[in-house]
């Protein structure tokens, strides 16, 4: 009850972008409100997507170039083969752009947690990505970037 209530979600109400995460975000907010941990959505903050410059600090240029120029690479990383058949501009807009927003959310949540004691980013936690590649639905190393930024 004595905690400063900073709470973060990457685009929680945009069900057109990431339906499962959005539904989860709504459920988490409702649960935290019911438990009296947060007063309402006024405690939610909107992150910015991670920039290419930020991503370059945790990923190789070669990997980022592959990811941002090939639907096949995105399909391999996300383990969703049908993505390879889609135009890359669509994959960028509907998959990688929301993922960059999740990365921005993780970085912001880490900073808020350091400043205020806690924060949540339901959309982050992409722990399968590393400098040269990604896997398991994780194209970007958001946790690594967040730790790097708060040091």
pLDDT digits (tens, 9 = 90+) for 13-51: 333 434 445 677 778 778 888 888 888 777 778 889 999
Are 80 and 134 spatial neighbours (Cβ–Cβ below 8 Å)?
A: no
Burial-class residue 24 by CB neighbours within 10 Å (0-12, 13-18, 19+).
middle
More confident residue, 40 or 146: 146
pLDDT digits (tens, 9 = 90+) for 55-112: 999 999 999 999 999 999 999 999 999 999 999 999 999 999 989 999 999 999 999 9
> And the tokens for 54?
């930020």
pLDDT digits (tens, 9 = 90+) for 119-133: 888 788 888 999 999
pLDDT at res. 22: 63
Are 142 and 106 spatial neighbours (Cβ–Cβ below 8 Å)?
A: yes
pLDDT at res. 57: 97
- Catalytic annotation present for 128: yes
Marked catalytic residue, from 68, 88, 128, 130: 128
Give 55's contacts (C-beta < 8 A, 6+ positions apart).
Answer: 64, 100, 103, 140, 145
Helices (H), 68-96: 71-78, 88-91
């Amino acid at each position: 009850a004595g905690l400063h209530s900073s709470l973060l979600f990457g685009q929680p109400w945009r069900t057109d972008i990431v339906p499962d995460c959005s539904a989860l975000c709504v459920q988490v907010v409702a649960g935290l409100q019911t438990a009296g941990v947060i007063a309402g959505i006024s405690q939610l903050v909107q992150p910015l997507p991670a920039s290419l410059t930020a991503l370059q600090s945790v990923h190789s240029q070669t990997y980022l170039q592959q990811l941002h120029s090939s639907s096949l690479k995105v399909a391999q990383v996300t383990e969703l083969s049908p993505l390879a058949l889609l135009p890359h501009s669509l994959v960028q807009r509907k998959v990688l752009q929301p993922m960059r927003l999740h990365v921005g959310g993780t970085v912001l949540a880490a900073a808020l947690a350091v400043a205020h004691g806690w924060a949540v980013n339901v959309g982050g936690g992409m722990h399968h990505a590393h400098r040269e590649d990604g896997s398991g639905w994780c194209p970007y190393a958001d946790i690594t970037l967040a730790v790097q930024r708060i040091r």
